[in-house]
Amino acid sequence: MKKKGFTLVELLVVIAIIGILIGMLLPAVQMVREAARRTSCANNIRQVALAAHNYQSGVMEFPAGSLYPVVASDGVTPLSSASSRNGWSFHAQILPYLEQSNLSSTINYKMGYKDHPPVDIGGSVAQISRFRIPTFLCPSEINDERRGEGTSEENYPLNYGVNNGIWFVHNPQNRSWGNGAFGPDNHFDMNHFLSCDGTSNTLMLAEVKAYTPYFRNLGSDTDPGMPTNPANLASLGGDFKTNSGHTEWVDGRTHQSGFTATFSPNTEALHTVGGITYDVDWTNWQEGKNGNSAKPTWAAVTSRSYHPTGVNTARMDGSSAFVTESIDLKVWRSLATRDGGEIISE
């Protein structure tokens, strides 16, 4: 009797057909997943922007880029009035409006975040900086993990940075600020935007990648000059940190919770050390560091994402939009100024 069954050739043909079908379907599945992640990310950044507006409705001004403890007798908080100052980020200030009241109610803003004692949240006693805030994280972030696990410096990253301008951020010696929407100890109200560029023409937030390598603390007293070529960024110098930028959502400094529009979104500023190539940022000085010896802050902290072709953003009117990385640099910089008076044509 003849046995019925598949021949080896037939099996190989079927397997080949299945492989071809999987190969055709996989990109489509990945595209659907990325579209879902990008939509979820856009919803997150919209929620953060809405929280900032709710904050503004309550106190009639937006959160500061960094909120520093009051140390002067007249209530003024110049960054040069104490030793190292550790200001609370914009993100920490809007926690009550992100359904994080349990955490925000434990914060004593009269002390810096590094001086703050551990808090008890639902039986978990830890530093505030170690708590994960889901709304601050993009679903596409590949480093959604705590930095410094098991040490006294545990921190959780974030993916939405506030607009700190184009290049100049702050000078603590004369208390001057850059042209962004946020700055250290500077609470702008709605009139700062409505009377100039308008809230719909000014960025509030843009995506940033966690664990960004960066140079810091060159300590120049004079402007080293805004680089026009990202390949030259590393040559400005400073201390190189391989993976700690945008890893502390509590920290109000630009390299941790902000961005600047020196370069357009997803621009690569490559620097090779020990055979490893890094995509880097740069900041002249960490805001609030060294008190009376503090230096001005100029910074090139690029908006980056894991989404193909661009980044999610939110504007000062609360709207959100996906901005492609091909956006004209002049337009991108115009969106980053609060008082430039530019006519935006995207």
**Could you read off the pLDDT of 179-207 as tens digits, one per residue?**
999 988 888 888 877 666 688 899 999 99
* 88 CA to centre of own chain: 14
Strands 281-283 and 276-279: unpaired
Do the beta carbons of residue 121 and residue 106 sit within 8 Å?
A: yes
Say what the pLDDT of residue 145 is.
Answer: 94
Cα–Cα distance, 227 to 235 (Å, whole number): 10
Residues with Cβ within 8 Å of residue 279, at least 6 apart in sequence: 212, 213, 268, 269, 270, 304
Residue ranges with strand state E in 69-183? 88-89, 119-121, 124-126, 160-163, 168-171, 176-177
Specify the higher pLDDT residue, 189 or 43.
43
Domain residue extents for the chain: 40-335
Confidence of residue 144 (pLDDT cuts 50, 70, 90): very high
pLDDT (tens digit per residue) in 314-335: 999 999 999 999 999 999 999 9
Among 21-25, 104-108, 209-213, name the one with the lowest average pLDDT. Answer: 21-25
List the beta bridge partners of residue 313: 206, 321
3-state helix, strand, coil in the chain (%, to 5): 30, 20, 50
pLDDT at 69 over 70: yes
Sign of CA dihedral 332, 337, 342, 346: positive
- Summarised one tens digit per residue, pLDDT across range 103-139 is 888 888 888 888 888 888 777 788 899 999 999 999 9
Q: What is the distance between the alpha carbons of residues 247 and 160, in angstroms, rounded to a whole number?
A: 11
**Rounded Cα distance, 212 and 247, in Å:** 8
Please write the tens of the pLDDT for every residue from 149-173.
777 678 999 999 999 999 999 998 8
Q: What is the predicted pLDDT for the residue at 307?
A: 95
Q: Report the chain's mean pLDDT, rounded to a whole number.
A: 87
Which pLDDT score is estimated for 16?
84
pLDDT value at residue 31: 67
Of the ranges 68-72, 107-111, 219-223, which is most confident? 219-223
The identity of residue 268, as a single letter, is E
Q: With a cut of 80, say whether residue 249 has pLDDT above it.
A: yes
Beta bridge partners of 297: 170
Q: What pLDDT is attached to residue 199?
A: 87
pLDDT in tens, 263-298: 999 999 999 999 999 999 999 999 888 765 689 999
Q: Match 């937030």 to its residue by tokens.
A: 205
pLDDT digits (tens, 9 = 90+) for 230-245: 999 999 999 999 999 9
Distance CA 333, CA 336 (A): 5
